[in-house]
A and B are shown apart, each in its own frame.
Chain A
Amino acid sequence: MALGLTLSANVAHAHVASAQAGAFYAGLLHPLTAPEHVLPMVALGLLAGQQGLNQGQGLLLVFPAAMALGASLALLHPALEWVSLLNIGSAALFGGLVAAAWRAPAVLLYALALLFGMSHGYANGAAITPNLSPAVFIVGLVTAALLVLGYSMAGTAYLLRLQPAWLPIAVRVAGSWIAAVGILVFGMMVRGQ
Chain B
Amino acid sequence: MIMNIPIPNRWQSLATLAGLLVPALALAHVGQGDIAGGFVTGLEHPILGLDHVVAMVAVGLWGAQLGSPAIWVLPVTFPLVMAFGGLLGVLGVNLPGVEIGIAVSAITLGLMVTLAVRPPLWAAGMLVGLFAIFHGYAHGGAELPESANALAFAMGFVIATGSLHVTGIIIGLINRWPWGMRSLRTGGAAIAACGLYFLVPYLAGA
User: Interface residues, chain A, CB within 8 Å of chain B?
Assistant: 1-2, 4-5, 8-9, 12, 26, 29-30, 33-36, 39, 84, 87-88, 96, 99, 123, 127, 166, 169, 172-173, 175-177, 179-192
From A29, A39, A177, A189, B150 is in contact (CB under 8 Å) with A189
Interface residue ranges of B69-89 to A (CB < 8 Å):
72, 75-80, 82-84, 86-87
The answer on a CB contact under 8 Å between A191 and B92 is yes
Chain B residues near A172 (CB, 8 Å)? 72, 76
User: Interface residues, chain B, CB within 8 Å of chain A?
Assistant: 3-4, 16, 19-20, 22-31, 72, 75-80, 82-84, 86-87, 90-92, 140, 144, 150-152, 154-155, 158-159, 162
Q: How many A-B pairs fall under 8 Å by CB?
A: 122
Chain A residues near B90 (CB, 8 Å)? 184, 187-188, 191
Q: How far is the CA of A4 from the CA of B36 in the complex (A)?
A: 14
- Closest beta carbon of chain B to A41's beta carbon, Å: 14
With known contacts A169-B72, A179-B79, A184-B86, A36–B23 Cβ distance under 8 A: no
Chain A residues near B84 (CB, 8 Å)? 183
The answer on a CB contact under 8 Å between A180 and B80 is yes
* A101 and chain B: residue at smallest CB distance: B76
The answer on a CB contact under 8 Å between A185 and B20 is no
Q: List 24 A-B contacts (CB under 8 A).
A: A4-B19, A4-B20, A5-B3, A5-B27, A8-B20, A8-B23, A9-B24, A33-B22, A35-B155, A96-B80, A123-B30, A176-B77, A176-B78, A177-B79, A177-B162, A180-B79, A180-B86, A180-B158, A181-B151, A183-B83, A184-B83, A184-B158, A188-B90, A188-B154
The answer on a CB contact under 8 Å between B87 and A187 is yes
* B89 and chain A: residue at smallest CB distance: A187
Secondary structure type dominating chain A contacts: helix
Closest 7 CB pairs of A and B: A183-B83, A180-B83, A180-B79, A187-B90, A169-B72, A184-B154, A187-B87
Secondary structure type dominating chain B contacts: helix
Chain A residues near B28 (CB, 8 Å)? 30, 127
- Closest beta carbon of chain A to B186's beta carbon, Å: 26
From B26, B76, B82, B154, A185 is in contact (CB under 8 Å) with B154
Chain B residues near A181 (CB, 8 Å)? 83, 151, 154-155, 158
The answer on a CB contact under 8 Å between B25 and A179 is no
Q: How far is the CA of A187 from the CA of B154 in the complex (A)?
A: 11
The answer on a CB contact under 8 Å between B83 and A29 is no
The answer on a CB contact under 8 Å between B16 and A191 is no
The answer on a CB contact under 8 Å between B76 and A173 is yes
- Closest beta carbon of chain A to B166's beta carbon, Å: 8
From A5, A88, A173, B75 is in contact (CB under 8 Å) with A173
Q: How far is the CA of A183 from the CA of B78 in the complex (A)?
A: 13
Q: How far is the CA of A35 from the CA of B29 in the complex (A)?
A: 9
Q: How far is the CA of A8 from the CA of B82 in the complex (A)?
A: 38
The answer on a CB contact under 8 Å between A4 and B16 is yes
The answer on a CB contact under 8 Å between A8 and B86 is no
